[in-house]
Amino acid sequence: PPWENTIEGIIKGFQRVAAGKIGLCVSNIEKRQNTGLSYEDAWNMTSVQLASASEAHCRAILLYTYYTETEKIVNTVSPALRQVLLQLVDLYVVYWALQRLGDLLRFTSISEKDIDELQRWYEDLLTKLRPNAVGLVDAFDIRDEILRSALGAYDGRVYERLMEAALRSPLNAEPVNSSFHKYLKPFMQGKL
Amino acid sequence: VNPDLQRERDKCTFNVTELINLIDGGVQKTEERKKQEDMVLSEGIHIEDVPSEYLSHKEKYELAVKKACLLFKVIRKMQEEDNAGMENYRAVLGGKLGSAILQDGSPLTLHYVMFIPTLMGQASVEQQVHWIGRAFDLNIIGTYAQTELGHGTFIRGLETTATYDPSTKEFVLHSPTLTAYKWWPGGLAHTANYCIVMAQLYTKGQCHGIHPFIVQLRDEETHMPLKGIKIGEIGVKLGMNGTNNGFLGFDHVRIPREHMLMKNSKVLEDGTYVNSPSSKLAYGTMMFVRVVLVTDMCNYMAKAVTIAMRYSAVRRQSQPKPNEPEPQILDYLTQQHKLLIGVASVHAFRLNADWLWNMYNNVTAELDAGDLERLPELHALSCCLKAVSTADAAECVERCRLACGGHGYMLASNLPSTYGLTTAACTYEGENTVLLLQTARYLVKAWQQAAGGNALTPTVSYIATVNSGRRL
């Protein structure tokens, strides 16, 4: 089937990858059995491919469900939010297509030109989402007490919080640690 | 607020509150969540005199127990106020709130996430009446012991035996070897006084495979281990050092016949074994946990990406154009590449988790009505989604840590402990490769069914419809 450089086309591509990988596993198990291996040994010899097929199946489910479930909700939200939610779906699907190019090249009719377009599409999506990057994580609405991070606090006082955290180290409770008198000083003076 | 961060917020093109409400499931749900957070955080349980990172292993456990008890007190108050059933337990203990207060895990998690759900799913009505009330009120503390030192996901290989003695109407639990010792369960070491134990059932000289039993481990007053119970903690781990993981061995420990959970299979007084409609029904708890795990992974990813994104808006680095200030690192495309996929992943997994949760509820309702048809499909799906979501979450958290450079390596960033929690999930409830291979068994069968012209279940129906193969 011809490759379609659309979200639906990519999802279908992932389903082809999963189906193709499962089919190959079945065929390889059978081939190995035909050489005299037991089913269990044939399974074991094919298990790297089987795990990969299983992951491909899961990716196909993840992409399909994310896409279809988002389609159900986008008509209930404002146009501005709708646009961002759809950009995120696009980003996720295109990202995984680029991550799994080898599989797509093997099991679908994707071409080099299609891949170039996918890469540009991905970079374009990053640029489009960039202005909303902080808004998107603010929407996870995780309070500082829950986030518990010097780097991620809502007010962005990163360096002040890092220093506050450093000062809480028990080693900073005294100016000179006892190990200096016990070990370092005698060692430095050649007495240890 | 840092001016760079404020500028980012000013230029946002959508209404953040609208997205918050959408993620929560509606305005009312957001209000409920915030009320819950206010209620829990106003107790100040999360505030520590000494940062817990600097405590010894023993002190960390003691603090975790103290916090877990105080947290339970808050939940009890919530229950009295709005009587929200299991929802408060899941929201407070299983969600972001729980991991905020008990950063390195809670010794009571398995009580709520495995002990009570197993009682609900595997105990007969009479047994539920006897145990569940006490468990909810924390009059008893339970955990769930399945994995052994010598065997993990391959549960048919478990060695612990439960041999029925009709003369006393008791089961005798025994660990015949060192490798038969139960190993890993959270809360088992020094917290729980009861435990659901998966053991090979023997009656009338015949083995009937693994079955769940409820076993008392410690005296309810003194907390001393009971006779024949060999119990302790397994030691320090990469993360989750507050969860009190333990080991457990049995030396011919006798328990009453009624302590076998008998919703599905039964042993009658004379030792007659009554089979369950499906051997897979005993795996219900694992399936439940795998489904819940997908939601947990969303929470960890959301945390990590929030930290790294805000940091990337504040942090400035390098000078690509002469005579211009150092740009925010978020302006580098490579940084956007690292982080924005994390945001998208949270949304993708959240919607998939909701979808899987609905499916789980539908299938368990069908099971209660005696319909087992979709059980293998749910099992296959929960296995692979658990594997992929935990692997992706661990990778996402690690990517976020790297996106924060050296500062992400500081425990104060909360990224290392978040990584500890996510990567732990790659191995518990079934190591990921093993789970992928379990799904593969289902997929191979589905392929063979499709080849035979048979109808396929919805989630694998694409196998019969898509054609694969590269165009020449």
Alpha carbon of B170: minimum distance to chain A alpha carbons (Å)? 39
Q: Residue B87 has what pLDDT?
A: 67
Chain B partners of A55 at a C-beta cutoff of 8 Å?
384, 387-388, 436
**B400 close to A (CB below 8 A):** no
Mean pLDDT score of chain B, rounded to an integer? 92
| Tens digit of each residue's pLDDT (9 = 90 or more) over A121-147 | 999 999 999 999 999 999 999 999 999
Q: Residue B472 has what pLDDT?
A: 40
| Tens digit of each residue's pLDDT (9 = 90 or more) over B23-59 | 999 999 999 999 989 989 999 988 887 888 999 999 9
How many residues can be counted in chain B? 472
Alpha carbon of B229: minimum distance to chain A alpha carbons (Å)? 38
CA torsion B108-B112-B114-B117 (nearest 10°) is: 160
Of residues A54, A127, A153, nearest to B437 (C-beta): A54
| Tens digit of each residue's pLDDT (9 = 90 or more) over B413-464 | 999 999 999 999 999 888 999 999 999 999 999 999 999 999 999 999 999 9
A171: which DSSP letter?
A: G
Chain B partners of A85 at a C-beta cutoff of 8 Å?
347
Alpha-carbon span B94 to B88, nearest angstrom:
9
- Work out the percent of chain B whose per-residue pLDDT is above 90: 77
Give me the residues of B, 299-328, that contact A with CB < 8 A.
302-303, 305-315
Of residues B16, B302, B354, nearest to A135 (C-beta): B16
User: Region B219-230: what's the mean pLDDT?
Assistant: 98
Q: Residue B367 has what pLDDT?
A: 82
- The phi, psi pair for B317, rounded to 5°, reads -155, 140
Give me the residues of B, 77-96, that contact A with CB < 8 A.
96
Chain A partners of B469 at a C-beta cutoff of 8 Å?
20, 107
Nearest to B133 by CA among B145, B143, B119: B119
Q: Which of A70-84, B198-212, B213-227, B368-382 has the lowest mean pLDDT?
A: B368-382
B8 is catalytic: no
Alpha-carbon span B187 to A117, nearest angstrom:
52
Q: Which of A14, A54, A118, A167 to mutate to test the interface with B (most CBs of B within 10 A)?
A: A54
Q: What is chain A's percent helix, strand, coil content, to nearest 5?
A: 75, 0, 25
Q: How many CB atoms lie within 10 A of CB B395?
A: 17
| Tens digit of each residue's pLDDT (9 = 90 or more) over B338-348 | 999 999 999 99
Alpha-carbon span B388 to B301, nearest angstrom:
13
> Has residue B279 got a pLDDT over 70?
no
A154: which DSSP letter?
A: T
Q: Residue B80 has what pLDDT?
A: 79
Q: Residue B365 has what pLDDT?
A: 87
Chain A partners of B399 at a C-beta cutoff of 8 Å?
none
Q: How many CB atoms lie within 10 A of CB A103?
A: 22
Q: How many CB atoms lie within 10 A of CB A41?
A: 13
- The interface predicted TM-score (ipTM) is 0.97
| Tens digit of each residue's pLDDT (9 = 90 or more) over A81-128 | 999 999 999 999 999 999 999 999 999 999 999 999 999 999 999 999
| Tens digit of each residue's pLDDT (9 = 90 or more) over B82-94 | 766 666 776 676 6
Nearest to B401 by CA among B301, B297, B304, B331: B304
- Work out the percent of chain B whose per-residue pLDDT is above 70: 94
Give me the residues of B, 213-242, that contact A with CB < 8 A.
none
> Has residue B380 got a pLDDT over 60?
yes
> What's the pLDDT band for B153 if we cut at 50, 70, 90?
confident
Q: Residue B471 has what pLDDT?
A: 45
**B59 close to A (CB below 8 A):** no
Alpha carbon of A156: minimum distance to chain B alpha carbons (Å)? 5
Q: Which of A155-169, B82-96, B117-131, B222-236 has the lowest mean pLDDT?
A: B82-96
Q: How many CB atoms lie within 10 A of CB B282?
A: 23
Would you call A35 helix, strand, or coil by DSSP? coil
| A151:B340 CB<8 A | no
